[in-house]
Amino acid sequence: MRRRRSSPYGALALVTVAGLLIGAGPADAATTPPTPAATSAAEPTPAEPARQPARTLTLITGDRIESSAGRIAIVPRHGIQFLRYRHGDDEYVVPSDALGLLREDRLDERLFNVTQLLADGFDRRDGLPLIASDLTGMRGLTAQRRLASVDGFAAEIPVADLARNWPTLRDSLRAGKLWLDGIRKPALDVSVPASGAPAVWAAGYDGSGVKVAVLDSGIDDTHPDFAGRVAAERNFVTDYETTDDDLAGHGTHVASILAGSGAASDGRYRGMAPGADLLVGKVCFSYYGLGAACPDSAILEGLRWAAESGARVVNLSLGADDQPGVDPIEAAVNELTAEYGTLFVAAAGNSGWVPQSIGSPASADAALAVGNVDKSGVRSWDSGQGPRLGDYAVKPEITAPGTAITAARSATADVAPPGEQYVSFSGTSMASPHVAGAAALLAQAHPDWRAGQLKSALMGSARPSAAIDLFGQGAGQLDVARALAQPVAADPPAVNFGFRAYPHDAQDVVTRPVTYRNDADAPITLRLAVTGDVPAGVITLDGSTVTVPAHGQATVQLTADTRAGGDAYGTFGGRLVATADGVSVQTPFSVFREQPSADVHLKVTARTDAPQEVVTQLGNLATGEFVVSYDSADTLRVPMGDYVVLSMGISADGTGTILANGRLTVDRTTDLTLDGRQARRVDIRLPERDAAPVLGEVEVQHTGAPQLFAMSLAGDPGSIYTADLGPKNVDGLITSVTALFARPDGNGGFTASPYTYQTGWYQTGSFVTGFTRELSERDVAKVRVGYASAATDGVGTRANYPVIPGVDYPDGFILPSTPLPAQRTEYYAGNLGWESTFEEGVGAGADYRRVAEFDAQRSDYQAGKDYTEQWNQAVFSTPMTPAFPEYPIVERRGNEFLLRLDGYADAAGHRGFSEAAGSTGKLALYRGDTLVEERAGAYAGVDVGEPGRSRYRLSYGFTQPAPARLSTSVETVWEFDSAYTATGTALPLTAVGFAPQLDDTNAAKKHGMLAVPLTFTRQAGAGKVAKVEVEASFDDGAHWSRTQVLSLPGGHTAKVKHPGRAGFVSLRARVTDSAGAVVTTTVIRAYEIR
């Protein structure tokens, strides 16, 4: 994050869409085989979407967020309203009683970034980890570890205690700041020589006597390449991983690039500084199947330990998204650099498909940020790009090889074939230790140099590439041989002119000194030139040469004059190049020339005299840039143009107000008054007079700009007030008013309510001033819903998500949970469609576990009509309805089979998935009798290697243990013919299901006969059903008996005769179609008899 100067665009920074779409900072390094391979710098083809299971996240306030298929729904505390907004692809949910602390900068905004919290797996943790930056006055936290770098401590609140703990914490947070203890992620035979190391070794420098630290996932110190090289180790993540082993393999690989001896390869894979002494701090651990994760608190401890232990250089191949401001890690890097002279070398990150994607802490002032090039010097498509957020400074500052780098493999990591000594990884994580190793070589050659001198020498000697933009490489590619040999370096190593405001006049002429230091015994005359794509006259020098005396200094003046530049605006960068015989010093620079802009004087008037917290967003409809203010009176600096204005206020009286102006033109200094007194109430009245609101939401979105602008207010709909303060018929403006009602249970909830009312309306072109609907029975659709039980003591929960034209992922509603089985009447009103999900779980609170989950099903209920629905009804069998319509369940493209076989379907055809712990899936594909592929799981891409027509056999099965009671084992086997297809083609397969009439516990009576209708779902091209055979088993498949199958005009029905004892019925069907394809489905414990 940036401390530097505040953005001129108001309380929060104005950020381009590109700046908001970065991922999780330096991502996990990609693994490649240990043998060198050709690597393309091109961006790979995006993968098809994968199914995302439902997840539950608890915020620091105790409010729960339910997430399903990219959509969210809130389970709120009583009486709390919520602000929802989006920054790029990230969705934030902020409870009303946290807004004031955000405005005062007492709370880390990441605590409410639902998208990133889920991506980082915080829903899987038993506690919420925090960093408090003040040791006094904060109640509700117990210090776990002292963190001197922030004058604070690390703490963790159990998830079950968050709601109870929040009021104490909220009311005592009057000093310091509470941060999320966030997750940062771990971002030679050719690459080391390409970086100039052999020439430095030949000069007698291999890093001997220099302490270098690697803060990462640990090290395999038993690897031959580290024999005698590890001076100290410390584990800072013992709360998560008590072993000192490197289970991720990332740290071992990084340390090998930096200082490995290459002993296991006869020196082939020698690191940059093989004589250096390694200090290894384990700050990352293997994280819930999501790869390595590095808590901020562990990194803070590791940074100080490394500096205090005498490390001259610290490698940080880890990071997270950068944000405006300075986060604790960046602050520690800057402060420890100043205190100890330690150089922190950091990976720039692997989210570089957009500009301004440098990760933190590479974004810190003092850090040396490293980008990734391949061994040919081509920038990797995902290497983090500058300029830096907030002040447009040059980042990355240098590049090094980081693609397909072969280095030591940790024996305890699940990478590469077991027994291999080396593995290849790619990423800025691999580039960074090349630079850190080069710094260690220079530190040996110059024992008195501190961080700034090392950084200047490395950057000044870099070799720029004409094929890479300045903000993709900084000074250029690492050349440590030149850094050692040439006697001249520049201070500062880069020049940042920062933001220059419009209109450009004399105050926008800024001069920065650049001082050259000459360590040679004779004076050197440098020829000076400015290079780069900069408008004429914007950057000038005070001379074309400068003579630097022996062992002395000389200063030149570099000037930015943004009065020049004409109609060119934005970020510009280049290099000041100083050359002499055997000398070439690169000093990159950057400047931001503001486009025509104006001040907007914002005033938000409260609806009543009660104090209120305010959030206002101005979104530029042409560029997608936006600015946010948390003040009722503010001056916002914005580029001239058309804006959508969205404002929300939450009052101390418990009411909330949304004000919107769909199009505001800013072409000069503008006074913008948003008058909450014009707002009117949302009033939805129901036929059921004892109904009460569970949750309501008013949302306004503008979808016509490059960036989606959206703001919503959630809470009791009767406490929400709205006003449209702008023009009508605004293209792209969409308003929705949605709400859920049920019967209160008398205990502050709605448990087992016999009915629900789900209402929703939308309109385009304008916002609403108030909203009133009085519903009668003829205005609603009546849906009688049965929820069967498939587990013992199950609890069922339905979620409804509105279908709003033009809106991709509207937020939804969690209906009251109910013990299963259950019957409920659900009413729907409005002009929206709905997509519904359902899940069954067992337990309560922290002990709740999902057993089954059903994907979204679309319904368009019509007012005045009655409907009947049944969910979770046996028999559960293999489906042929795809999760994504454009991706068939089984598809052939050329000679590749694409298999997407996870899940099952209930008797009504709802597509579901087992969430029971210990559930397993397995698939196998045969061509004739030859096994082509067998693997655990449900997804696979299989090259069958045979274009001709062949007979194939494909099987998929899964098992699910208790508490799942039914369909404990399901297997389907398809036999079919297939040949090469020029394009993706669904294979002509059929799935068979069973739909007996069972009670709501999915049971039938023992004795007697039960009719079991069969259902068939077919992919395109499948033949008609020609022959059906069904068998039943009453001992879990040990013995089978043939049933009578009736072929009737309405379909096929098997008649199953039940025994006189209680138990379970298993079913097996074999179906042959008119094209000769055969499908056999076996379901163990299809239903119960009692």
Average pLDDT over residues 958-965: 88
Q: Which residue did the predictor score with more confidence, 348 or 808?
A: 348
Q: What is the pLDDT of residue 47?
A: 44
| Greater model confidence, 53 or 975 | 975
DSSP codes of every residue in 476-525: -B--HHHHHH--EEEESSSEEEEEEPSSP-GGGEEEEEEEEEE-SSS-EE
pLDDT confidence band for 34 (50 / 70 / 90): very low
Q: pTM for the complete prediction?
A: 0.82
Tell me, what's the pLDDT at 189?
A: 66
Give the Cα separation of 275 and 203 in Å (integer).
14
Calpha distance 91→710 (Å, rounded):
10
Q: What is the pLDDT of residue 839?
A: 92
pLDDT, tens only, 603-649: 999 999 988 999 999 999 998 888 999 999 999 999 999 999 999 99
Residue 188 pLDDT more than 80?
no
pLDDT at 10: 30
Query: Does position 686 have pLDDT exceeding 60, yes or no?
Result: yes
Domain boundaries, the chain: 17-78+86-183, 187-486, 499-593, 666-870, 890-1089
Least confident of 69-83, 121-135, 746-760: 69-83
> Is the predicted pLDDT of residue 186 greater than 80, yes or no?
no
Q: What is the per-residue pLDDT for 42?
A: 44
Where does the pLDDT of residue 1048 fall: very low under 50, low under 70, confident under 90, or very high at 90 and above? confident
For residue 1057, the cross-strand partners are: 1009
Angle value at C-alpha 582, between 577 and 585, nearest 5 degrees: 25
| Distance separating alpha carbons of residues 909 and 768, to the nearest angstrom | 39
pLDDT score, position 903: 80
Whether residue 348 contacts residue 380, with contact meaning beta carbons closer than 8 Å, is answered with: no
CA 422/CA 407 separation, integer angstroms: 5
Give yes or no for a cis peptide into 193 (omega within 30° of 0). no
Between CA 985 and CA 1001 the distance in angstroms is 40
What's residue 418's pLDDT?
Answer: 64
DSSP-derived 3-state class of residue 702: strand
Tens of pLDDT, residue by residue over 720-742, are 999 999 999 999 999 999 999 99
Q: 940 by DSSP, 3-state: which?
A: strand
Q: What is the mean pLDDT of residues 1056-1067?
A: 97
pLDDT digits (tens, 9 = 90+) for 568-584: 999 999 999 999 999 99
DSSP 330: H
Span 731-777, pLDDT tens digits: 999 999 999 999 999 888 898 899 999 999 999 999 999 999 999 99
The answer to whether the CB of 434 falls within 8 A of the CB of 478 is yes
Q: Does the pLDDT at position 1049 exceed 90?
A: no
| 335 pLDDT higher than 60 | yes
Measured CA to CA, the distance from residue 986 to residue 896 in angstroms comes to 12
Least confident of 95-109, 301-315, 385-399: 95-109
Q: From the candidates 90, 123, 216, 479, which is the catalytic residue?
A: 216
Please give the pLDDT value at position 2: 34
pLDDT of residue 26: 30
**Which entry of 250, 434, 1052, 1058 is annotated as an active-site residue?**
250
Position 15 confidence tier, pLDDT thresholds 50, 70, 90: very low
Longest CA span, the chain: 108
Phi-psi region of 1051 (alpha: psi -120 to 50; beta: other; left: phi over 0): left
Q: Report how many helices (DSSP H) and strands (DSSP E) the chain contains, helices first.
A: 13, 74
Which tokens hold the place of 420?
A: 């291999």
Catalytic pick from 261, 357, 363, 429? Answer: 429
- What are the tens digits of pLDDT across the range 866-921? 999 999 999 999 988 877 778 888 999 999 999 888 788 999 989 888 776 677 88
Residue 11 has pLDDT above 50, yes or no: no
* Superfamily per CATH, domain 499-593: Immunoglobulins (2.60.40.10)
pLDDT at 1060 over 90: yes
**250 an active-site residue?**
yes
Of the two residues 1020 and 590, the one the predictor is more confident about is 590
Would the pLDDT of 399 be above 50?
A: yes
**Which amino acid is residue 1087, in one-letter code?**
Y
pLDDT cut 90: percent of the chain above it: 72
pLDDT value for 846: 72
Q: Looking at 274-288, 414-428, 1071-1085, which range is the least confident one? A: 414-428
Helix (H) or strand (E) holding 442: helix 428-445
pLDDT of residue 428: 94
Contact partners, residue 715, CB within 8 Å, separation at least 6: 76, 80, 81, 82, 96, 656, 695, 696
Most confident by average pLDDT, 410-414, 426-430, 780-784, 856-860: 780-784
How large is the average pLDDT for residues 22-39? Answer: 32
Mean pLDDT of 219-231: 95
What lies within 8 Å, CB to CB, of 15 at 6+ separation is: 87, 324, 356, 389, 625, 626
Instruction: Look at residue 73 and tell me whether its pLDDT is greater than 90.
Output: no
Residue 499 has pLDDT above 90, yes or no: yes
* 369: confidence class by pLDDT, cuts 50, 70, 90: very high
Give residue 71's pLDDT band: very low, low, confident or very high (50, 70, 90): confident
Place of tokens 């002429």: 509
Q: Where are the alpha helices (DSSP H) in 722-832?
A: none
Q: Let me know if 78 is a catalytic residue.
A: no
The pLDDT mean for the chain works out to 90
Q: Which pLDDT score is estimated for 136?
A: 62
User: What's the CA gap between 79 and 654, in Å, rounded?
Assistant: 8
pLDDT at 291: 73
**Res 1033: pLDDT:** 98
User: Does the structure show a pLDDT above 70 at 39?
Assistant: no
Does residue 507 sit in helix, strand or coil? helix
How is domain 187-486 classified at the architecture level of CATH?
Answer: 3-Layer(aba) Sandwich (3.40)
**Where residue 861 falls among pLDDT bands split at 50, 70, 90?**
very high
The tens digit of pLDDT for each residue in 239-248 reads 889 999 999 9
pLDDT for 506 beyond 60: yes
Residue 429 bears catalytic tag:
yes
pLDDT given for residue 917 in this prediction: 66
Predicted local confidence at residue 810, as pLDDT: 82
268 CB-near residues (< 8 Å, 6+ apart):
188, 189, 262
CA dist 936 and 940 (Å) reads 10
What is the distance between the alpha carbons of residues 82 and 84, in angstroms, rounded to a whole number? Answer: 6
